[in-house]
């Protein structure tokens, strides 16, 4: 039986990356052009260059540009986080929203906003600490109760439920802690500003760079702990570092996009089928694929039922839920065939 990490479709990674490198900017451009008021590409370009100062410029710079940047950053961060978590934990069902990473980050965001509502720059770092605490707690519970993959998922569900209940409690006592709480709960990008995205960007960028630099070590780790140790790799410190970087990415996304789900589950699985084995092509393609997926879902949410708008988290849930059920049905003795 083949490992869940392998696929008969794994080939031509350069072609897949090239397609994604073209598709992602195209979707970002569509995100800037389309909406209740359709804008021509020339108007968008003029606004970005500072030549368009009228209504079109206001729409692009203050409504659509932060939203497009948020989609790109959150999608890339969550997808890469999911790819790393799945590899480090050797579990195809692991994803930031499933094993408590997003919920832990969300709880930290709620607490930070209730205690220090003016310290917006600290929100991404609080989210990182919450995400890291969530993944470490789930990992501890899973190791103490058994190493089965489904145990990790169940522990994640339990931790996520507790964190969600704590978020509800914080919002009950401090209603103004999370403005637009319903959008935060399902994941939404409708009221973003660049001021909320920039601190998250400076947390996600070094995390992404470090993961790319550690791609070779991740390849060795994926050979198995015993093999990695025999090759001189310090397994435990590396696993903790990789999980911390994955938590930083998930926390950065949650800090401004809310509790988005399934990006970190869907995208790594698709990218494994489009690229050859290897952590570097997987991380790069996941970053582009996650950015493209979230941008496309956000566009669908804005356009399908216009003038009404579906939060992007709803579109992702309707897409990712069936995908997760499909993965569960494919389980064969702890693996996907």
Mean pLDDT within 236-256: 92
- 288, 301, 103: which is closest to 189 by C-alpha? 301
Q: List the structure tokens of 186.
A: 């399902």
Q: List the structure tokens of 247.
A: 């938590």
Min mean pLDDT across 95-109, 131-145, 154-168, 200-214 is at: 131-145
Top pLDDT among 12 and 132 is at 132
- Give yes or no for residue 323 having a pLDDT over 50: yes
Question: Which residues are within 8 A (CB) of 99 and not within 5 positions of it... i.e. 6 or more apart?
Answer: 85, 89, 134, 135, 138, 152, 153, 155, 156, 159, 160
What b-and-e string marks burial along 119-143, b requiring 16 or more CB atoms within 10 Å of the CB? ebeebbbbbbbbbbbbbbbbbebbe
CB atoms within 10 A of CB 107: 27
At 73-97, the pLDDT tens digits run 999 999 999 999 998 888 888 889 8
At 265-319, the pLDDT tens digits run 999 988 988 876 788 999 999 999 999 999 999 999 998 887 888 889 899 988 8
Q: So what's the pLDDT on residue 36?
A: 85
Top pLDDT among 77 and 140 is at 77
Distances (CA, A) of 335 to 64, 148, 180: 42, 11, 40
First-to-last C-alpha distance (Å) of the chain: 6
Q: Confidence band (pLDDT; 50, 70, 90) for 165?
A: very high
CA dist 22 and 43 (Å) reads 21
Q: Is the peptide bond before 23 cis (omega within 30 degrees of 0)?
A: no
- Which SS3 state, helix, strand or coil, does residue 335 take? strand
Give me the phi and psi of 277, to 5 degrees please: -65, 145
CA dist 102 and 255 (Å) reads 10
CB contact at 8 A, 5 and 20: no
pTM of the model: 0.89
Q: Confidence band (pLDDT; 50, 70, 90) for 328?
A: confident
CA 287 to the chain's CA centroid: 9
CA dist 137 and 155 (Å) reads 9
Question: Which residues are within 8 A (CB) of 35 and not within 5 positions of it... i.e. 6 or more apart?
Answer: 59, 63, 64, 302, 303
At 232-241, the pLDDT tens digits run 888 888 988 9
Q: So what's the pLDDT on residue 146?
A: 62
Domain 13-336: CATH superfamily, name plus number: ABC transporter involved in vitamin B12 uptake, BtuC (1.10.3470.10)
Q: So what's the pLDDT on residue 325?
A: 82
Q: So what's the pLDDT on residue 3?
A: 55
Q: List the structure tokens of 70.
A: 């948020």
CB atoms within 10 A of CB 280: 17
CA dist 74 and 184 (Å) reads 13
Long-range contacts of 167-171 (CB under 8 A, 24+ apart): 167/103, 167/106, 167/107, 167/110, 170/107, 170/110, 170/111, 170/114, 171/110
């Amino acid at each position: 039986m083949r490992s869940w990490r392998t696929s008969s479709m794994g080939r031509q990674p350069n072609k897949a990356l090239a397609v994604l490198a073209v598709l992602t900017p195209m979707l970002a451009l569509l995100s800037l052009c389309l909406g209740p008021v359709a804008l021509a590409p020339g108007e968008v370009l003029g606004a970005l260059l500072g030549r368009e100062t009228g209504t079109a410029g206001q729409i692009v710079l203050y409504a659509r540009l932060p939203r497009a940047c948020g989609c790109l950053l959150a999608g890339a961060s969550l997808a890469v986080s999911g790819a790393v978590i799945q590899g480090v934990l050797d579990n195809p069902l692991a994803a930031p929203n499933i094993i408590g990473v997003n919920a832990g980050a969300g709880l930290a965001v709620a607490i930070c906003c209730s205690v220090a509502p003016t310290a917006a720059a600290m929100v991404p770092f609080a989210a990182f600490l919450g995400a890291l605490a969530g993944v470490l707690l789930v990992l501890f519970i899973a190791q103490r109760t058994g190493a089965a993959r489904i145990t990790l998922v169940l522990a994640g569900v339990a931790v996520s439920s507790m964190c969600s209940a704590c978020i509800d409690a914080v919002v009950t006592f401090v209603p103004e802690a999370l403005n637009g709480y319903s959008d935060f709960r399902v994941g939404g990008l409708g009221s973003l500003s660049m001021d909320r995205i920039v601190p998250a960007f400076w947390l996600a960028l070094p995390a992404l760079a470090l993961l790319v630099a550690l791609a070779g070590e991740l390849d060795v780790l994926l050979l198995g702990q015993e093999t990695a140790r025999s090759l001189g790799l310090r397994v435990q410190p590396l696993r903790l570092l990789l999980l911390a970087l994955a938590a930083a990415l998930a926390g950065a996304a949650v800090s401004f996009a809310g509790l988005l789900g399934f990006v970190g589950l869907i995208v790594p699985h698709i990218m494994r089928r489009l690229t050859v084995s290897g952590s570097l092509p997987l991380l790069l393609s996941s970053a582009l694929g996650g950015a493209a997926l979230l941008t496309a879902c956000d566009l669908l949410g804005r356009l399908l039922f216009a003038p009404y708008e579906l939060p992007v988290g709803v579109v992702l849930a309707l897409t990712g839920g069936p995908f997760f059920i499909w993965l569960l049905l494919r389980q064969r003795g702890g693996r996907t065939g």
